[in-house]
Structure 1
Amino acid sequence: MSETGSIIPFARKQTNRWRCFVMLVATFCQQKLTMQENHIQTEAQLLEFCNLIRNSEWLALDTEFVREKTYYPQFCLLQISNGALAATIDPIQIEDLSSLLEILYDTNIVKVFHSGRQDLEIFYNLWGKVPTPLFDTQLAASLLGLGDQVGYGNLVELVLSHTLEKGHSRTDWSRRPLDDAQLRYALDDVIYLGDLYVELKRRLQEQRREHWLQDDFDQLANPLTYDPDPKDAWKRIKGRQRLKGVQLAVLQSLTAWREQVAQQSNRPKRWILKDEVLADLAKHQPNTTEQMEKIRGLEPGTIRKQGDALLKLIAEAKGLPKGLWPVDKKRAAKLTTQQEAMTDLLFCALRLLAEQNQITPAAITSRKELEALVSGERDLELMHGWRRVIAGNALVQILDGTLWPVYEQGQIRLDPHGS
Structure 2
Amino acid sequence: MQYQLIEKDQELADYCRQASQQPFVAVDTEFVRTRTLYPRLGLVQLYDGQQLALVDPVAISDLSPLKNLLTDEGIIKVLHACSEDLETFASALGVMPTRVFDTQVAAAMLNMGPSLGYARLVEEMSGVTLDKGESRTDWLARPLSPQQLHYAANDVLYLFDLYPQLAEQIEQQQKTAWVFAEVLQLIAKKQAELPLEYAYLTVKNNWQLKGRALAVLKELASWRLQTARKRDIALNFVLKEQAMLELARRQPGSKNALHGISDLMPQDIRRHGDSLLEVISQALALPPEHYPARVERLVEFPAYKKTSKALRDMCEKVALQNGLPIEMLGSKKQLNQLLKWLWFELDESKLMGLKPDLISGWREPLLKEGIERILPAC
TM over 0.5: yes
Q: Provide the identity percentage.
A: 35
Distance in 1 (alpha carbons) for counterparts of 2:180 and 2:291: 36
Q: Is the counterpart of residue 230 in structure 1 residue 193 in structure 2? A: no
Q: Is the 8 Å Cα contact of residues 7 and 55 (structure 2) preserved in structure 1?
A: yes
Q: Is the 8 A contact 1:246 1:322 kept in 2?
A: no
Aligned to 1:142: 108
Corresponding residue to 2:217 among 247, 251, 259? 251
Is the counterpart of residue 397 in structure 1 residue 362 in structure 2? no
Considering only CA atoms, is the larger Rg found in Structure 1 or Structure 2?
A: 1
Higher RCO (CA 8 Å, separation ≥ 6 residues): 2
1:114 aligned residue: 80
Deviation of 1:327 after TM superposition, in Å, equals: 6.1
Aligned to 1:332: 298
Matching residue of 1:60: 26
The 2-side partners of 1:164 and 1:116 are apart by 19
* Matching residue of 1:278: 244
* Rounded Cα–Cα distance in structure 1 between residues aligned with 2:39 and 2:253: 36
**Cα separation, partners in 2 of 1:138 and 1:244, compared to 1, 3 Å:** farther
Is 1:288 aligned to 2:254, yes or no? yes
Deviations 1:279-335 (A, max 9, x none): 222233333334322211213343344333222222333416646626645x32334
The reply to whether residue 242 of structure 1 matches residue 242 of structure 2 is no
Change in 2 beyond 3 A, CA 1:107/1:302 = same
1:212 is paired with a residue of what secondary structure? helix
Distance 1:399 1:207 in 2: 30
**Residue correspondences, number:** 365
Per-residue CA distance 1:99-140 (angstroms, 9 max, x = gap): 333322322222222121221222212332212122222222
How many Å separate the matches in 1 of 2:341 and 2:15?
Answer: 54
8 Å Cα contact 2:109/2:328 also seen in 1: yes
Q: Distance in 2 between matches of 1:112 and 1:317?
A: 48
The answer to whether the Cα contact below 8 Å between 1:115 and 1:139 also exists between their aligned partners in 2 is yes
Q: TM-score of the superposition, structure 2-length normalised?
A: 0.84
- Cα contact 2:45–2:153 (8 A) shared by 1: yes
Contact 1:350–1:391 (8 Å) recurs in 2: yes
CA distance in structure 1 between the aligned counterparts of 2:227 and 2:282, rounded to whole angstroms: 18
| TM-aligned CA distance change 1:242 to 1:169, over 3 Å | same
TM-score with structure 1 setting the length: 0.77
Match of 1:348 among 309, 313, 316: 313
Contact 2:211–2:288 (8 Å) recurs in 1: no
- Cα RMSD over matched residues? 3.0
Q: 1:198 to 1:157 in 2, by over 3 A?
A: same
Q: Deviations over 1:363-386 (max 9, x none)?
A: 222345546767892853222223
- Mind listing any 5+ residue stretches in structure 2 that lack a counterpart? 344-354
Distance 1:156 1:245, change over 3 A: farther
- Corresponding residue for residue 363 of structure 1: 328
Residue equivalent to 1:384: 360
Deviation string 1:141-177 (CA, Å, 9 cap, x unpaired) is: 2222222222111222233333222121122212222
Give the structure 2 partner of residue 76 of structure 1.
42
* Conservation of the 8 A alpha-carbon contact between 1:332 and 1:372: no
Choose which of 63, 70, 91 in structure 2 pairs with 1:97: 63
Deviation at 1:360, TM superposition (A): 1.6
Distance 1:327 1:155, change over 3 A: farther
- CA gap 1:231/1:82 in 2 versus in 1, 3 angstroms: farther
Deviations, residues 246-280 of structure 1 (Å, cap 9, x unaligned): 44433232122122223333333322211211122
Determine if the alignment matches structure 1 residue 196 to structure 2 residue 162.
yes
Q: Secondary structure at the match of 2:137?
A: coil
Partners of 1:308 and 1:176 in 2: CA distance: 38
CA shift for structure 1 position 343: 3.6
Q: 2:120 aligns with which of 111, 129, 154?
A: 154
